[in-house]
A = this chain, B = another copy of it.
Amino acid sequence: MTDGLTISGLTITHLKQIGDERGAVYHFMNSDSHTFKGFGEAYFSKINTGVVKGWKFHHEAFQNFCVPFGRIKIVVFDNREGFESKGMINEIVLDDANNYTLLSMPPGLWYSFKCESESFSLLANIIDIKHDPKESQNLPLDTKKIPYDWGH
């Protein structure tokens, strides 16, 4: 399922929430998931309301995101040479309700994300390698190298 995404390799997969009066079970990922590339690390990024984190870039890590609490807008920029989607921007909203979906992102893309809910949001991430600062890069939010204006 791509849901209108135009960046090559970037995918959205519907995730189930199986609820009852006690609460719910929120699916995230299993070893048969078509975007499961191996388990390196799972962590959460807590982001306070209105805050934007980014831009970030991974040379190697394949990431699988969902938002089990709150609502987050993720912006992805493809600057990969040789890809038809080079130059494209995709905007994706993940949340804990109607947009409870898995965003799967191959390495080589720039991304940043904003908490659009009150108080804070949690972005859950399963990556196929362990955290390694040497395989990632950062750019400031107001970089001229990425054609997206967060309005800051």
Contacts and interface: CB of A to CB of B under 8 A. Distances in A.
Interface of A: 19, 21-32, 36, 38-48, 51, 53, 68-69, 115, 120, 122, 124, 126, 130-131
Given A68-B69, A68-B122, A122-B69, A26 B40 contact: no
B28 A42 contact: yes
B41 A31 contact: yes
Interface of A is mostly: strand
Given A42-B28, A42-B29, A42-B42, A53 B131 contact: no
Copies in the complex: 2
Nearest to A33: B41
A32 B24 CA distance: 30
A26 B41 contact: no
A148 to B, nearest CB: 18
